[in-house]
Amino acid sequence: MSQDVCIIRGDGIGPEISDAVEKIIDAAGVAINWIPLDAGLKCVEAGEPIVPDRTIDRIREVGIALKAPMTTPIGKGSVSPNVTLRKRLDLYACVRPARSLPGVKTPFQGLDIVIFRENSEDLYTQIEYMVTPTVANSIKLISEQASEKIARAAFEFARKNGRRLVTCVHKANIMKIADGLFLRTFQRVAKEYPDIESWDIIVDALCMQLVTKWRQFDVLVLPNLYGDIVSDLAAGMMGGLGVAPGANYGDKTAVFEAVHGSAPKYAGLDKVNPMALLFSANMMLRHMGHDAQAEAIEGAVERTLVKGVKTYDLLGSAKTSEFADAVRAELRL
């Protein structure tokens, strides 16, 4: 019996990588009824909100969505579609794993971390205004409630998945009130998980140590802005944005997305790496209870990489469709 999943195929290279991912999931034997939804640049060009109400309502109804990259128009007063989805669907936890991959050469072998980014607050509330014509102000909003939810999500994940350490990343030495609240809340929640080691580190120190002593880290929990920056750093360490997955969880809804952008200059060229969206879809499959199929896809991708079938970003020559076909062939072995 097939399961309903909403899909936003996105802008730029979004439709191409979505097609590749759908074919791979089908080859893995997972029956999904894909429900296409509108969002992104084409909605703005049609005079609609970047994420229409009908799209939000349908995702709420189904509970699961896979989202390809979308374009945010610059200088047109349009808000980010990603931020819109997170806020309106109350997707408070952004989860981004980063691990080294067989066949992908980086200096960071043995990397295996999971980043929990608080998704609803911080500077991303977009509460900003001009104080005077030459002075702007942006509000950094941190609440105990949201901080507790993301800290608890990180510890629950660690316990469920046998992770040993959860590290809180902050700048409480400077922002003693806002980041101080985030840190104190983390420390309070940590006391409820005595079986898991907890630690905290200042964000600039983390960035330095992440590229020099990456094996010491396991699960990271961060406010929104730091989480956005550090997750891209971790993506670079694992091989680039083309291989970096992401998921956004709420209490009732989950949206899975590639970390990278829509890359409009590559649209229609059959060139871009579909792995980021594929690994995001794999997180979705595990969320849906298809652990065996997700593991099979991961194994097929790794064997494909080891055989040298890679897209341009990994210094290969395979097209999007060729990489997808190679993964599907591995699944049939």
Inter-residue contact 255 to 82 (CB < 8 Å): no
Structure-block tokens of residue 329: 């062939």
User: DSSP code of 200?
Assistant: E
User: DSSP code of 172?
Assistant: T
Structure-block tokens of residue 58: 């349908």
List Cα–Cα distances, 255 to 55, 258, 265, 271, in angstroms: 12, 10, 26, 25
Would residue 171 show up in a list of annotated catalytic residues for this protein? yes
Active-site option among 92, 124, 226, 249: 124
Active-site option among 67, 87, 149, 171: 171
Residue with token string 């349009």? 78
Which residues fall within 8 angstroms of residue 319, CB to CB, at 6 or more apart?
270, 271, 311
Outline where the chain has alpha helix (H).
Answer: 14-27, 41-45, 53-62, 81-88, 144-160, 178-190, 203-210, 224-238, 275-287, 291-306, 320-332
Structure-block tokens of residue 185: 């809340």
Inter-residue contact 77 to 301 (CB < 8 Å): no
Would residue 57 show up in a list of annotated catalytic residues for this protein? no
Active-site option among 228, 249, 271, 325: 228
Residue 73: name the closest of 30, 98, 41 by CA: 41
Active-site option among 4, 57, 204, 291: 204
Catalytic positions = 124, 171, 204, 228
